[in-house]
Amino acid sequence: MRIGIVCYPTFGGSGVVATELGKALALMGHKVHFITYSQPARLDMFSENLFYHEVYIPSYPLFQYPPYELALASKMVDIVRFEKLDVLHVHYAIPHASAAFMAKQILRTKGINIPVITTLHGTDITLVGKDASFEPVVTFSINQSDGVTAVSDSLRAETYDYFQIEKDIEVIPNFINLDKFKRQKKEHFRLAIAPNNEKLLVHTSNFRGVKRVEDVIRIFAKVREKVSSKLLMVGDGPDRPKMEKLCRELQICQDVRFLGKLEAVEEVLSIADLFLMPSEKESFGLAALEAMACEVPVISSNAGGIPELNINGETGFVSPVGAVDDMVENALYILDDAHLPQFKANALSRARDFDIEKIVPLYEKLYQKTINEQ
Which one among 285, 300, 317, 346 touches ligand GMT, defined by CB under 6 A? 285
Residue 159 contacts ligand GMT per CB under 6 A: no
Phi and psi torsions of 207, nearest 5°: 50, 40
Which one among 282, 324, 350, 367 touches ligand GMT, defined by CB under 6 A? 282
Residue 121 contacts ligand GMT per CB under 6 A: yes
Provide, rounded to whole angstroms, the least separation between the CB of residue 170 and ligand GMT: 14
Residue 12 contacts ligand GMT per CB under 6 A: yes
DSSP classification of residue 146: S
Alpha-carbon distance 358 to 371, whole Å?
A: 21
Alpha-carbon distance 220 to 231, whole Å?
A: 7
Which one among 6, 151, 200, 293 touches ligand GMT, defined by CB under 6 A? 151
Residue 229 contacts ligand GMT per CB under 6 A: no
Residue 321 contacts ligand GMT per CB under 6 A: no
Among 147, 182, 151, 109, smallest CA distance to 14 is for: 151
Provide, rounded to whole angstroms, the least separation between the CB of residue 5 and ligand GMT: 14
Which one among 284, 317, 354, 367 touches ligand GMT, defined by CB under 6 A? 284
Alpha-carbon distance 50 to 41, whole Å?
A: 14
Alpha-carbon distance 126 to 371, whole Å?
A: 29
Provide, rounded to whole angstroms, the least separation between the CB of residue 17 and ligand GMT: 5
* 8 A C-beta contact, residue 203 and residue 268: no
Nearer to ligand GMT, 77 or 151 (CB): 151
Dihedral, CA of residue 232, residue 234, residue 239 and residue 241, to nearest 10: 60
Nearer to ligand GMT, 28 or 210 (CB): 210
Phi and psi torsions of 99, nearest 5°: -65, -40
Residue 123 contacts ligand GMT per CB under 6 A: yes
* 8 A C-beta contact, residue 93 and residue 120: yes
Among 365, 359, 284, smallest CA distance to 92 is for: 284
Residue 34 contacts ligand GMT per CB under 6 A: no
27-35, 260-268, 275-283, 358-366 -> range binding ligand GMT (CB under 6 A): 275-283
Q: Give me the residues that bind ligand GMT (CB under 6 A), please.
A: 12-15, 17, 92, 121-123, 126, 151, 174, 206, 208, 210, 281-286, 304
